Amino acid sequence: EGANFVIKRDYTARILGYTPAAGLALFRRLLINESGTHWTFIAHLGERTLVGATPERHVVLRDGHAVMNPISGTYRYPSTGPRLEGVLGFLQDEKETEELYMVLDEELKMMSRVCDTAPRVTGPRLREMAKLAHTEYFIEG
């Protein structure tokens, strides 16, 4: 098959004078200010606290029905907010489109192996968040 891959990115920060209350304050800010997320989380693990938000759900299985929403491509809003010409340029960018097709293809292969019937694809759609937007498809089966 192909040599498709997505480069993993992490963001790690240390907060001077950190307390669990500081982690909860950060979590609260995410809940209030971030839109379009599937999952906003906080996990305190003793010496480390994980706080984050993601628009992507890997897979949801309910009553024998599986749903995925592969996401790729990022349009970061200018400081003045999203602009129509910026969004249109992002949606017409060949690199962004090809990356989304690659991610869709990989997830479709996986869904085809676990679903009893052929998975159905809908999209692409624009997933709007507080400071950026992503393109996504939905796969159901």
* Cα pseudo-dihedral 75, 80, 81, 85, rounded to 10: -60
Is 91 domain-assigned? yes
Is 10's pLDDT higher than 80?
Answer: no
Give the distance, in angstroms, between the CA of residue 57 and the centroid of all CA atoms in the same chain: 7
124 prior amide bond cis, ω within 30: yes
Is 33 domain-assigned? no
Is 31 domain-assigned? no
Q: In this predicted model, what pLDDT tens digit does every residue of 112-129 receive, in sequence order?
A: 988 889 999 999 999 998
Is 19 domain-assigned? no
**Domains contained in the chain, number:** 1
Is 120 domain-assigned? yes
What pTM value is reported for the model?
0.70
CA 29/CA 134 separation, integer angstroms: 21
Band (pLDDT 50/70/90 cuts) for residue 64 is: confident
Q: What is the pLDDT of residue 57?
A: 76
Q: Answer yes or no: are the C-beta atoms of 6 and 70 closer than 8 Å.
A: no
Q: What is the pLDDT of residue 126?
A: 93
Range(s) of the domain holding residue 119: 60-140
- Give whole-number Cα distances, 115 to 1, 69, 90, in Å: 21, 15, 33
